[in-house]
Structure 1
Amino acid sequence: MNAEIATTFPQFTRLDPQSAALLEGSARVVALPAGTSVFHDGSECSNYVLVIDGSVRVQKVAENGREIVLYRVESGQSCVLTTNCLISHADYTAQGIAESDVRALVLPASAFRSLLARSEAFRDFVFSAYAARIADLLMLIEEVAFGRIDVRLAAWLLHHCDDDGTIKSTHQDIATELGTAREVISRQLKEFERRHWVSLHRGRVEVKNRSGLASLRDSV
């Protein structure tokens, strides 16, 4: 097996020789520049995609234009939505966008289904990744449905700021990440600024008081 593939997806070293040969003979490596639409809502799912390098953002856009980031697919990972579509013979119900330059291993649907049927090691890889991502999505649903937006925003700011406290994101970017409206984020950020926890600038947020944000984050 290709050394890079074996390193990135070590589970594939457990494939039996026939399954490994099918994987290597069917899969191809593709390069996707940053900003590329990997798939979109309503498009046909014809390949199993495994990310070698880079990051693909999977998000859902509502009819009213509101967006929420569901998850990201990064090096060594597969896309749970793709897995679901291939197993259920359904079209995509969200969109995937390359956040950075991406290299991915692409396996045609027919080869995916053959490997799923014949290889226990391949099934283990597919369904363990599927189960882990479903657990993450359930946590996201709980946060969006029941979590206070001020607490979630404080946690997000602390998680994403760099060493000097800078976050290079617009209010809309943050709203998309947290699954709410831009106006809600702008209003809450202005409140944080009033408390001297952050300062707001065009296209970025500066965290000024980490302990203040942390106290809010840890208040529930």
Structure 2
Amino acid sequence: MNGHADALTAIYPLLSGLSPAARALIEKEGRMMEVPAGTHLFDEYQPCGGFPFVLEGQVKVAKSSANGRELPLYRVHAGETCVISSACLLGHIEYNAHAVAETPARLLVLPTALFDRLLSEPAFRTFVFSLFAERVAELMQLVEAIAFQRLDQRLASLLLGHGQTLHTTHQQLADELGSVREIVSRLLKSFAEQGLVALGRNQIDILDPAGLRALAAEGR
């Protein structure tokens, strides 16, 4: 009876306080989706089709410019929510970003009408707004970094926290920073000349993490 609801509360324990009636609605109207990596889950200017819960996998939410450049806004992992979807449903507006499954993913999608009904449930309403606030705080940090940090500081920060060796391309780093490959390549070459990193084919070795941390923290 409660397969969908049990799967949901196992990953999202904040929803364990849902009433039996709400659980029954989720079981009846919730839509389980399994998608391969690379699947576009929604695009800009589309009407919002429902509220997605990520049960497995990872989803990237990003904003694109007219010239095709992309700025990742955040990633949604299992147990997290998509603030863009929340905002669209609460404001009855179209998506203003797009989402792509970066890995194979399993999602439970609540139709718009069900989302609206569940907002009368205290447990669901508290869940939506508490995680909404967390995501907004993350987006404010991104805005602050873009507005007030130099690109070399943001790149230094991006390189940290992934171990001694990163298996990535200059283009992937540029995409993460909302920049272009040529600029990122020049900065990485400068980092290598300073002894901060060593560059290989689709690989970056961190030689001086303390130096990168100092660079990332400049001006803060």
Q: TM-score, normalised by structure 1?
A: 0.92
State the partner residue of 1:203.
202
Task: Provide the rounded CA distance (Å) in 2 between the counterparts of 1:51 and 1:196.
Answer: 41
Task: Provide the rounded CA distance (Å) in 2 between the counterparts of 1:215 and 1:9.
Answer: 37
**Counterpart contact for 1:197–1:213, Cα < 8 Å:** yes
Q: TM-score, normalised by structure 2?
A: 0.92
Give the length in aligned residue pairs.
216
Mean Cα deviation higher: 209-218 or 105-114: 209-218
Shift of residue 34 of structure 1?
A: 0.8
State the partner residue of 1:13.
16
Residue 25 of structure 2 aligns with an amino acid whose one-letter code is L
Mean Cα deviation higher: 196-205 or 42-51: 196-205
Task: Provide the rounded CA distance (Å) in 1 between the counterparts of 2:59 and 2:145.
Answer: 22
Show structure 2 runs of 5+ residues with no match.
none
Task: Provide the rounded CA distance (Å) in 2 between the counterparts of 1:213 and 1:13.
Answer: 42
Shift of residue 176 of structure 1?
A: 1.7
Describe the superposition over 1:176-208 as per-residue Cα deviations: whole angstroms up to 9, x where unpaired: 212223222111111001112112223222222
Show structure 1 runs of 5+ residues with no match.
none
Aligned sequence identity (%): 41
Shift of residue 65 of structure 1?
A: 2.1
State the partner residue of 2:108.
105
Describe the superposition over 1:102-125 as per-residue Cα deviations: whole angstroms up to 9, x where unpaired: 111111111111111x21111111
Mean Cα deviation higher: 72-81 or 18-27: 18-27
| 1:78 has 2:77 as partner | no
Match of 1:137 among 136, 139, 142: 139
CA-based RMSD of the aligned residues comes to: 1.5
Task: Provide the rounded CA distance (Å) in 2 between the counterparts of 1:17 and 1:166.
Answer: 49
Shift of residue 57 of structure 1?
A: 0.4
Shift of residue 146 of structure 1?
A: 0.6
Match of 2:31 among 28, 33, 38: 28
State the partner residue of 2:121.
119
Residue 131 of structure 1 aligns with an amino acid whose one-letter code is A
**Counterpart contact for 1:12–1:20, Cα < 8 Å:** no
State the partner residue of 1:178.
177
Describe the superposition over 1:80-137 as per-residue Cα deviations: whole angstroms up to 9, x where unpaired: 1011111222221111010111111111111111111x21111111111111101110
Task: Provide the rounded CA distance (Å) in 2 between the counterparts of 1:186 and 1:74.
Answer: 29
Match of 2:42 among 39, 42, 57: 39
Residue 75 of structure 2 aligns with an amino acid whose one-letter code is R
Describe the superposition over 1:24-69 as per-residue Cα deviations: whole angstroms up to 9, x where unpaired: 2111221011111111112221111010011100011101222111
